[in-house]
Chain A
Amino acid sequence: MSAAWALFRRDVLLSVRIGGGFGLGIGFFVLVAVLLPLGVGRDLVLLERLAPGLIWLGAALAALLSLDHLFQADLEDGALDQFFLSQTPIEALLLAKVAAHWATTGLPLVFAAPVLALLLNLEAGNWPALMASLAVGTPALSLIGGAAAALTAGLRRGGMLLSLLTLPLYVPTLIFGAAAAAGGIAAPELLLLGGVSLVALVVAPVAAALALRLYVS
Chain B
Amino acid sequence: MFGYANPERFWRLSSLLMPWVWGATAILFAIGLYAALVASPDDYQQGATVRIMYVHVPAMWMSLGAYAFIAVASFVSLIWRHVLADVAAKAAAPIGATFTALGLLTGSIWGKPMWGAWWAWDARLTSVLVLFFLYLGYMAMWAAIEDRTRAARAAAILALVGAINLPIIRFSVEWWNTLHQGASVLRAGGSALHASFLYPLLIMGLAYLFLFGALLLVRIRTEILSQRVLADQRRRAANEQLTSPIESEA
What string of 1s and 0s marks CB contacts (under 8 Å) between A144-179 and chain B? 000100011011001001001101110110011001
Stretch from A33-41, A60-68, A75-83, A207-215 contacting the other chain: A207-215
Interface residues in A175-217 (C-beta closer than 8 Å to B): 175-176, 179, 192, 196, 199, 203, 207, 210-211, 214-215
- The smallest beta-carbon distance between B233 and chain A, in angstroms, is 24
Interface centre among B136, B168, B176 (most CB of A within 10 A): B168
In the assembled complex, the Cα of A215 lies from the Cα of B137 at a distance in Å of 19
Determine whether the beta carbon of B158 is less than 8 Å from that of A165: yes
Q: Known interface pairs A151-B158, A175-B176, A214-B153. Does A168 touch B168 (Cβ–Cβ under 8 Å)?
A: no
Determine whether the beta carbon of A171 is less than 8 Å from that of B172: yes
In the assembled complex, the Cα of A199 lies from the Cα of B168 at a distance in Å of 10
What string of 1s and 0s marks CB contacts (under 8 Å) between B128-170 and chain A? 0010011011001100110000100110011011101100110
Complex contacts, A179 vs chain B, CB 8 Å: 176
Count of chain A residues near B, Cβ 8 A: 26
Count of chain B residues near A, Cβ 8 A: 27
Q: Known interface pairs A175-B173, A199-B168, A214-B150. Does A168 touch B134 (Cβ–Cβ under 8 Å)?
A: yes
Q: Which B residue sits closest to A176, measured CB to CB?
A: B172
Q: Known interface pairs A164-B137, A171-B172, A176-B172. Does A203 touch B161 (Cβ–Cβ under 8 Å)?
A: yes
Determine whether the beta carbon of A151 is less than 8 Å from that of B130: no
Judged by a CB distance under 8 angstroms, whether B2 is at the interface is no
Q: Known interface pairs A168-B133, A199-B168. Does A161 touch B173 (Cβ–Cβ under 8 Å)?
A: no
Complex contacts, A215 vs chain B, CB 8 Å: 150
Complex contacts, B171 vs chain A, CB 8 Å: 172
Determine whether the beta carbon of A211 is less than 8 Å from that of B133: no
In the assembled complex, the Cα of A175 lies from the Cα of B144 at a distance in Å of 30
- The smallest beta-carbon distance between A187 and chain B, in angstroms, is 12
Contact of B154 among A171, A203, A214 (CB under 8 A): A214
In the assembled complex, the Cα of A192 lies from the Cα of B78 at a distance in Å of 31
Interface centre among A165, A203, A210 (most CB of B within 10 A): A165
Complex contacts, A151 vs chain B, CB 8 Å: 141, 154, 157-158
Determine whether the beta carbon of B165 is less than 8 Å from that of A165: no
Q: Which B residue sits closest to A173, measured CB to CB?
A: B172
In the assembled complex, the Cα of A149 lies from the Cα of B144 at a distance in Å of 13
Q: Known interface pairs A151-B154, A172-B172. Does A167 touch B133 (Cβ–Cβ under 8 Å)?
A: yes
Determine whether the beta carbon of A147 is less than 8 Å from that of B161: yes
Determine whether the beta carbon of A196 is less than 8 Å from that of B168: yes
Determine whether the beta carbon of B173 is less than 8 Å from that of A164: no
Q: Which A residue sits closest to B171, measured CB to CB?
A: A172
Determine whether the beta carbon of B157 is less than 8 Å from that of A155: no
Complex contacts, B160 vs chain A, CB 8 Å: 207
Complex contacts, A214 vs chain B, CB 8 Å: 150, 153-154
Complex contacts, B78 vs chain A, CB 8 Å: 210
Q: List 5 A-B contacts (CB under 8 A).
A: A151-B158, A164-B140, A168-B169, A175-B176, A210-B153
User: Interface of A with B (CB < 8 Å)?
Assistant: 147, 151-152, 154-155, 158, 161, 164-165, 167-169, 171-172, 175-176, 179, 192, 196, 199, 203, 207, 210-211, 214-215
The 5 closest A-B pairs by CB, nearest first: A172-B172, A168-B133, A165-B137, A175-B172, A164-B137
